[in-house]
Structure 1
Amino acid sequence: MFCKEPKRVLHVMGKMDTGGAETFIMNIYRNLDRTKVQFDFIVHTTEKGYYDDEIISLGGKIFSVPKFTLKNLYSYVKAWNNFFKEYHSQYNIIHAHVRSTAAIFLKIAKKYGLITISHSHNTSSGNGISAIIKNLLQYPLRYTADYFFSCSKEAGEWLFGKKIVNNGRMKIIPNGIDAEKYTFNNFKRNMVRKELKIDNKSFVIGHIGRFENQKNHKFLVDIFKAIKKSNNEAILILIGDGHLTTTIKEKVKESNLTDSVRFMGVRNDIPDLLLAMDLFLFPSFFEGFGIVALESQASGLKTIVSDTLPEAVMVTDYIIPISLSQPAEYWANEILKYRNGYDRRNTKGEIQEAGYDIKEIANWLGEFYLKW
C-alpha cells in the first residue's frame, strides 16, 4: 500500500541548544502530526546541540553551514548555494529563526523556488559593534521574506517594522507550552526538594537562562546578595550555561555567596525544578517573549521580571514586572514579600485561554505548512 511521505520543512537555527526559540520549535515538533509534516534543521555550527539526538529520534535531519563572519561572506553564500543545489527538491518551505544572515540565505532559497518565512524571537541585538552589524544585515529581511512570524507584537515591530505589523502581514505565533506538565503538585515538590537536599526552611529563588549579557546575571547576583542580608535561608538556583558562566561564578565567589548559589547547568527536568522553587527571578535586559516566564507561571510561581518583557507573557497575576532602573535592594524587598509562602494554584486553564496551548499552535502551524 502506498504511504505518502510527510512534507519536510527546513528550519534554520544557530545551534539546537536550550534557548527560547529552540525550545519553542522543539515543543512544536513534539506535538506536530509528523506523519504529515517533518522538520529538518540547518545549524551554523558543527558542534553537537542539546536537542540533536531528539531531532534524529523524531525523524529529522540536521545539516550544517559555516558560522557567518563578514570575512567569509563568499564561502557562506557558496555553502548555501551548494546545499540548495543538492537538496532543494526535498523542500518548498524554509523557516528562518536566525536574523542577521536570514536576508542572505532566504534570497538564495527563493532563487530555488522555496517559500520563505522569517520568525522574530527577540527585541534587540544587544550592544556594541556586533549589534550594529547585525541590525544592518537583518534590515533587508522586511523586503526579502514571503511571510513574517513573531512571538510578540514588540518582537515583530523591532525586526520587521511597524508598517508590516500594522498592515496585517505579520502573524503572531504564541510561544506555547504544555501547561499540564508544569501543574503544581505539593507532594512532588517535596520529593524534588528532598532529592536536591533542600529543607523546608529554605527560600529558593530560581532562574533559567543562557549565561549571556541579555539575561542580566550580574544584577541577578546583586539582588540575591541583598536578599541574603535579610534572609540567610535563601538559596539561588541558576539553570543554564553560556559564555558568561565562569564570570558569574567568579562574581558569586567575590560576593561570598558560593555556599548559597547552585549552578545546575543545562537540565531536562525543568518542570520538576520549577516545583522546587519558591520564586522565579528573570531580570533580562530584553526578551522577545520569555518562554520560561510562562513556564514558571504554569507552575504557580511568583515570577519577578523586568518590565522590558512584552505584555504577551504576562498571563496570570503571578507575574510582577519591576523596572531595571530600580536598585537591587528594591528588587530584594519585593521578592522578600513572598518568603513566607503563598497559594500556588493550577493555572493551566488561564494559560490555554490566553492562547498558549502548544497542541493548538502546533496544529495551526502544521496546517500552514501544508498549504504548499
Structure 2
Amino acid sequence: MMKVAHIIKSLDTGGVETWLKDLSYITEDKLDFILHNNSASYYEDEVKENSAKITRIPLRLGMLTFSKKLYNHFKKESFDVVHSHVNLASGWMLFIAWLAGVPIRVAHCHNDKRSEYKTHSFSKKLYYFFAKVLVNLFSNKKIAVSKDCAPSMFYSSSKVNILPCGLNLIAKDNKLSRSELGLQNDDIVLAHVGRFVPQKNHLFLLDLMTLLKSESNFKLLLIGDGKGYTEVEEIIGKRNLTNIKLLGVRSDVKELMKYTADFFLLPSKFEGLGLVAVESQSNNLFTLVADTVPKDVKISDFLEFLPIDKASTWKERLLELTASKEHIKAKRLPFDNRKFSIEENYRQLTVIYSGSKAL
C-alpha cells in the first residue's frame, strides 16, 4: 500500500474528477486529494466514504503562502507519490514535492492545449515555456491520456506512459422513461455531456440545433454545468430552440446514454482523449466527434469524425444515419473496451508507480 496525493482544482463532475472518484472505489492505496477550490465539490462526500482524505489548500492564499502550506503538507504526510493533474501548473507542484523529498512525482497530461496556448499573449507564452521546463525537470513519472496530447506537456525525448483514463463505464439497469424528460418515443435524441466552457464548443451545438429546427423530432440533451451555462441558456431563449433541454449535472449519465439517447455528440475544439466518447461507445451509443479529437478515442465501428467548422455537415450526416437506422444497429454491436476499464487503469497505474518501464 502506498500513500498517494492527487493534486487537482476540485472534485466536480469532469472526466478527470470522475476517474479519480472511480479510482477511490478500487484502490488499495491511501489517497489524499489536495484541492485548490474554496468550497465543497460534487464528489467529495463520495470519495471520503471510500476512506480518501480531502485537503484544501486554496490558490487564493497567494503563491508564497500556498507553496509553504503545500510543502509543509508534503513533509508532514510523507507521501510515496504526488500525482498532479493541473496541466502545466504541475511543474511548480512537483518542484515543491521534490523539495519535500517525495520520491515519486507524476505529471499527468489530460488535454492538448497547444492550439489554445498559441492565442495567448507573449508573457503567457513565456510562462508556459518555463512551466513546461519545470514539468519535465521535476516529474520522474510522466503520463498522458493519448499520444496526441503528450507533446502539450512533455518533450519528445521523454518516456511517457500512455494511459487513457478508464471509468466505471457500464450503465445500471435503470431504464429511464422518455416521458420523464418531456420526450416522445419517436424523437431522435442527441446527447452531449461536458462543462459549459469554450473547449466543449456548445455554440456549435446551438448552431446545429438551429439547422435542425425544421426536423421537429430531433431533440438535444445538454448535460453539465459551468461558467458558460447562462450564455447558452440565453441564446436558446433568443433563438427559441425548444428542441434543446438543459439537464444540468446528473448522476445517471450512463443510463441516459444507454437507454434514452440515439446519438452522442462531441464537437470539442480540443481534447486530451475525449473520455466521454469512450463512455458513450461503451454504452452502445452512436457517437459523432469533431476531427480535432484524438483518433485514439475510436474504440468501435460506431464512432465517426466530422469537421469542426461545418454544422451543416453534421446535420446532413445525422439525417443519413437516422434514415439508415445506424443508431439502432449500434445498440447491438460488440466491442472490447477492457483497456478503458477502471480496473485495468489501476493495474497500469500501480506498475507506473512501482518504477517499471513505460507501458
| TM-score, L = length of structure 1 | 0.86
Matched letter for residue 44 of structure 1: H
Name the CA distance, whole Å, in 2 between partners of 1:131 and 1:315.
36
Q: How does 1:297-308 map to 2 (within 5 A)?
A: 297-308=281-292
The aligned runs of 1:1-372 (5 Å cut-off) are: 6-32=1-27, 34=28, 37-67=29-59, 72-87=62-77, 89=78, 91-114=79-102, 115-124=104-113, 126=116, 127-129=119-121, 132=125, 135-136=128-129, 138-140=131-133, 141-164=135-158, 169-179=159-169, 181-182=170-171, 189=175, 191-229=176-214, 231-257=215-241, 259-275=242-258, 276-325=260-309, 327-340=310-323, 341=325, 342-346=328-332, 349-352=335-338, 355-369=339-353
Q: Provide Cα deviations, 1:200-250, integer angstroms capped at 9, x if missing partner.
A: 121111100000000000111101111222x11211100000000000111
SS for the counterpart of 1:320 is: strand
Q: Sequence identity of aligned pairs in percent?
A: 30
Q: Are the equivalent residues in 1 in contact too, given 2:209–2:244 (CA < 8 A)? A: no
CA RMSD of superposed structures (Å): 2.2
Partners of 1:8 and 1:199 lie apart in 2 by 50
Partners of 1:298 and 1:346 within 8 A in 2: no
Structure 1 residues 357 and 8: CA distance shift in structure 2, 3 A:
same
> How big is the shift at 1:262?
1.1
CA contact (8 A) 2:273 2:296 kept: yes
**Whole-Å Cα distance in 2 between the matches of residues 178 and 132 of structure 1?**
37
Show structure 1 runs of 4+ deviating over 6 A: none
The answer as to whether partners of 2:300 and 2:335 remain within 8 angstroms in 1 is no
Q: CA deviation at 1:26?
A: 2.1
Question: Residue type of the partner of 2:157?
Answer: K
Indicate if the aligned counterparts of 1:13 and 1:42 stay in contact, CA closer than 8 A.
yes
Q: Is the 8 A contact 2:87 2:110 kept in 1?
A: no
- Please tell me the residue identity of whatever aligns with 2:4: V
Whether the aligned pair in 2 keeps the contact of 1:142 and 1:160 (CA below 8 Å) is yes
How much does 1:8 deviate? 1.9
Contact 2:199 2:269 in 1 (8 A): yes
**Structure 2 counterpart SS, 1:101:** helix
Aligned partners of 1:322 and 1:331 also within 8 Å:
yes
Change in CA separation of 1:138 and 1:132 when aligned onto 2, cut-off 3 Å: same
Q: How far 1:323 moved relative to its partner?
A: 1.5
Larger RCO, structure (CA 8 Å, separation 6 or more): 1
Are the structure 2 counterparts of residues 137 and 52 from structure 1 closer, same or farther at C-alpha, using a change threshold of 3 Å?
farther
Question: What secondary structure is seen at the aligned counterpart in 2 of 1:287?
Answer: coil
Q: Distance between the aligned counterparts of 1:271 and 1:46, measured in 2?
A: 29
Structure-1 separation of matches of 2:301 and 2:276: 16
Deviates more, 1:47-56 or 1:341-350: 341-350
Residues 46 and 261 of structure 1: CA distance in aligned 2, closer, same or farther (over 3 Å): same
Q: Is the 8 A contact 2:299 2:337 kept in 1?
A: yes
AA aligned opposite 2:58: P
**Structure 1 residues 134 and 245 mapped into 2: Cα distance closer, same or farther (>3 Å)?**
farther
Between the aligned partners of 1:39 and 1:256, the Cα distance in structure 2 is 47
Amino acid at match of 1:329: S
Shift of 1:137: 5.0
Paired residues in the alignment total 346
Question: What residue number does 1:3 align with?
Answer: none
Q: In 2, are the aligned partners of 1:117 and 1:149 still within 8 Å (CA)?
A: yes
